[in-house]
Amino acid sequence: MAKHLLIFLFAISCTVSVKSQYNTEFINYRNTRRSISVNAEYDAGSNGTNQILINKLLLGGYISEDDKAQSSKYLRGYNNFGVNLNYGVNAFIKGGKKHDFLIGFKNQEILNATYTKDFFNLMFYGNQAFKGKTADLAYCNVNALRFQEVKFGAILHSVDSVAKIGVSLSFIKGEQLFYIKTNKNSSLFTSADGSELIFNSKFNLAISDTNNKDLMSFNGVGASADIFFETPYKSKFGKQSILIVNANNIGFIHWRNNSVQYSSDSSYRFSGYTVDNIFDLKDSTLNKINSDSIVLSLTNARRENFNVNIPTNLVIINKIVWSKRFVTNFGFRHIFNANYKPYVFIEPELTKGKVTVCFHVGYGGYVRAGFGASIAYESNGWFLKIGSNHLQGLLLPKYTSGQGVFLSLAKKLK
């Protein structure tokens, strides 16, 4: 997945033909109407590390002691991490006087995790600091998912003359899945002299077919739905208010029989030994230790099909129209099943002629707090929007986390 992210970031640095803020096609309809658009969104962050360490984990690079020390300052008892990447093409085409049809193709890549402070220190520093102690590994999880979808839908754009309602259904091709979750009492104990380790192995693990890992892999099949609603209403603030509600990726993927599940609820104890001659390693303990034997002794492995819910995205926006030139958006976003914290934001918009500038400030999600900006251009034939909701990781990577970009280029149709 890191390789795909690197290619994508290079691509968007060379072109402006990509979108979609909040991973939704319907919200942009008020600007694009009937159109063909190319869309993409990239978002990455963590509330338990800085952006320098995230970039090196995703894109590669030497992680220095200073990188680890600086990043560990932000650790809490439990920490979140997430990367969302989606890109595709969609079209709103004429259906009738009061409705248009939607057809789209999209690739989605999702990586997120929850981890303890002990897990971070064990991963980057080893168990030296845990001599005579137990590292808490309970309730950690990692979820990596990649899938493609074909979408069909429609939008009613003149409900009661002013409201809009949109619905779509998607056929999903599951490409890759990796999921692991540790349970209560998962831990690693290290004796005071380092001669003994006790690993309480309590976890569940699911992996799609490891022999098929490319874009053409068809390891799962599923379906999802999108629901959209927009209506203006009178309020005490401004000239008009507009309520927008959009839920998408409401669905699942059925992973086929070549997928593997592991489960473990046992303890593994290892005691040290003495080696007198490193060229004569005949100790029976050494002979028994290899990766296969450890996995088999710890887990119950089985090949079977199973269902996994995909992360569902919910966006609620209340627009207050003060004038033709000034609008304020108050919003809420949450991604279910994705280790995502509820995200609240405010966006003042300024419009002059064909150009709209928007500023963004928010709290929650995968980061503690973030800020961003975007600029949009709209003419009779084109709509272009480029921006980021998280610039802090780009401007202050050593002290904070969060970076992203969304872009949209749409050719309007008659």
Q: What is the pLDDT of residue 133?
A: 93
In the beta sheet, which residues pair with residue 308? 253
Positive or negative CA dihedral for 74, 75, 77, 80?
A: positive
Q: What is the pLDDT of residue 414?
A: 82
Give the span between the Cα atoms of 250 and 245, in whole angstroms: 14
Supply the pTM of this predicted model.
0.85
Angle between helices 65-72 and 51-59 (to 10 degrees): 130
Q: Tell me the C-alpha to C-alpha distance, in Å, between residue 212 and each of 89, 170, 200, 261.
A: 25, 23, 32, 16
Closest CA to 213 of 11, 61, 3: 3
Letter for the amino acid at 38? Answer: V
**With contact defined as beta carbons under 8 Å apart, do 179 and 141 qualify?**
yes
Q: What is the pLDDT of residue 19?
A: 37
Closest CA to 144 of 208, 88, 56, 86: 208
Q: What is the pLDDT of residue 14?
A: 35
Give the span between the Cα atoms of 267 and 186, in whole angstroms: 9
Closest CA to 144 of 170, 104, 174, 105: 174
- Exposure string for 312-324, b = 16+ CB within 10 A, e = fewer: bbbbbbbbbbeee
Q: What is the pLDDT of residue 16?
A: 33
Closest CA to 134 of 76, 197, 68: 197
Q: What is the pLDDT of residue 176?
A: 93
DSSP class of 138:
T
Q: How many domains does the chain have?
A: 1
The token duo for 366 is 């995968």
Its domain, for residue 233, covers 2-412
Helical H runs in 241-290? Answer: 284-288
In the beta sheet, which residues pair with residue 405? 42
Give the span between the Cα atoms of 390 and 160, in whole angstroms: 37
Q: What is the pLDDT of residue 260?
A: 86
Give the span between the Cα atoms of 25 and 228, in whole angstroms: 10
Please list the ranges in the chain whose pLDDT falls under 50.
1-19, 274-275, 277-279, 281, 283-286, 288-292
Give the span between the Cα atoms of 215 and 397, in whole angstroms: 32
Q: Tell me the C-alpha to C-alpha distance, in Å, between residue 374 and each of 47, 63, 287, 355.
A: 23, 32, 60, 11
Per DSSP, the three-state class of 184 is coil
